[in-house]
Amino acid sequence: MEITTQILHLRPYLFGIAYGMLGMIEEAEDIVQDVYEKWMSVESVKDPKAYLGRMTVNKSIDRLQELKKQRESYTGPWLPEPYITLDADQPPTLEYGLLFLLERLNPLERAVFILRESFSENYRSIAELTGATADNCRQLLHRAREKLACRTPQVVEPATQGALTQAFLVALQHQDRAALNQLLRSDIELFSDGGGKRAAGLKPLFGLQKVLKFLLGVMQLPDNQRNEFIHRPAFINGQPGSLIFDQQTGDLDSMTYIGWNATQITRLLYVRNPDKLRVRASMF
């Protein structure tokens, strides 16, 4: 069938599903492209959105199962690829901290959660898109929420989140232990993803003292002592975050995403794998 303007307008919806499922931008774009190519060979469809959505969900589930096997041999923690923008316009994505947590779900739970929470699909539509029954979809969503209980990031106003993020970066830059002690919650978590291509922690860190020791240790490294890096604000999946650039080369070195509970930091996510930063680095 012909790809009309109506069909093209579904791209953000289809991309949102695929990216939410896979946590990888290029992989999601490839799936959407494949879906559109297959659409060209279809003769008649009553509901294009449901048809293309179902195809996207199925392809994403199949690809996620393949990727999960590959990630078993990944060096260190695996973090989703961030969707980096310069403005606050909400891209068709989940909040980054939530996207990170969705790795705890199986593919079908993840699909149901995304369709319900990101796109407010009713259970009848979710059943049609996933191939499960409506009752089963309710159970899958309940199970997914249970797995994410007490871990889902708290919604903080962007202005507040931006101010708190800046406060953390200033405290870290000055190695202000007292300020960091106040900003970091006692049960804070830290995950860093270098993919074996850049230095990063090979294991997650849990607890204030371990995280604080790690952060202050990083700031003592020669490159940081020479102030070779600069922080620049950006939006990570539509929420305030920070990018770290090498001042000499201009290269994007890493991304910092901070999870808050309104007053303290609950989770720090660092992406340093250049494969996950390269595409968006050209924007700057």
Range list of H helices, 72-130: 96-101, 107-117, 123-130
Query: CA-CA distance, 212 to 206, in Å (whole number)?
Result: 10
Written as six digits, the tokens of 3 are: 């790809």
Query: CA-CA distance, 219 to 200, in Å (whole number)?
Result: 13
Question: What's at 87, amino acid-wise?
Answer: D
Show pLDDT as tens, one digit a residue, over the chain (284 residues): 778 888 899 999 999 999 999 999 999 999 999 999 999 888 888 899 999 999 999 999 999 999 999 999 999 999 999 999 877 666 667 889 999 999 999 999 999 999 999 999 999 999 999 999 999 999 999 999 999 986 666 667 777 777 888 899 999 989 999 999 999 999 999 999 999 999 999 999 999 999 999 999 999 888 777 777 888 888 898 888 899 998 888 889 999 999 888 788 999 999 999 999 964 433 43
**DSSP conformation letters of 200-268:** --SS-EESHHHHHHHHHHHHTSHHHHTT-EEEEEEEETTEEEEEEEETTT--EEEEEEEEESSSSEEEE
Question: Between the CA of residue 267 and those of 100, 185, 257, 276, what are the distances in Å?
Answer: 11, 9, 8, 20
Residue whose token pair is 């260190």: 76
Residue 61 is predicted with a pLDDT of 97
Residue ranges and CATH numbers for the domains of the chain are 5-77+93-148 (1.20.140.160), 158-281 (3.10.450.50)
Residue 281 is predicted with a pLDDT of 39
Residue 228: Cβ within 10 Å count:
15
